[in-house]
Amino acid sequence: MNFKEGEVLFFNKPLGWTSFKVVGHARYHICRRMKVKKLKVGHAGTLDPLATGVMIVCTGKATKRIEEFQYHTKEYIATIQLGATTPSYDLEHEIDATYPTEHITREMVEETLKQFLGEIHQVPPVFSACKVDGKRAYDLARKGEEVELKPKLLVIDELELLECDLVKMEIKIRVVCSKGTYIRALARDIGEALHSGAHLTGLVRTRVGEVKLEDCLDPLTFAEWIDRQEIEITEDN
């Protein structure tokens, strides 16, 4: 392997890790193995700390391919709690409001999901990395400032109801979508369409392009993995 010339690694991001931490962890162990102090490493698509799953990490000259990977279709399995909302649309914040759910049926959920297939306009979450006048939306939101984000056009290719527990008022869905889709915002919009609030309680990115979970390395065992690899080191010109 030649990390300076460029390698593409696939990781299964652990729960609670930031995408930045995955990149830093990979960089540290690659540099340790190569006995170098620095190496260009980047990722192709952020995952929230509360999400797990496929993350593509590029090194050296392969970082030029990051944009290419970002445009690959992504697949997620999302767990959504109906009847309550949070400011971030997930478990990062406490519940701020509850809503009636007695009217919700499985048939109603299935019909509602059909509304989100194809091209849709989605307003990103205020607690997101979207930029407003050069500043990150989440930085402004955490300071209590008003954040107004414009709807973005995106595509949802597939949306399948996997589970529907009307006792817990929890649904599980499989989503295949384009770059820029916020599954947290989709949970919010599904809740609104059901005339009840909703928020995301679990998220796994199961695929990016052709890369699946089973193709991924575990960051927790990456140190042992890289120590077993044959490393080629190219001298700088």
Catalytic annotation on 48? yes
Exposure string for 190-221, b = 16+ CB within 10 A, e = fewer? bbebbebbbbbbbbbbbbbeebebeebbebee
Give the long-range contacts of residues 209-212, CB within 8 A, separation 24 or more: 209/69, 209/72, 209/73, 211/10, 211/54, 211/56, 212/54
**Distance from C-alpha of 90 to C-alpha of 183, rounded to nearest angstrom:** 10
**Distance from C-alpha of 25 to C-alpha of 17, rounded to nearest angstrom:** 10
Q: Whose structure tokens read 């930085």?
A: 139
As annotated, the active-site residues are: 48
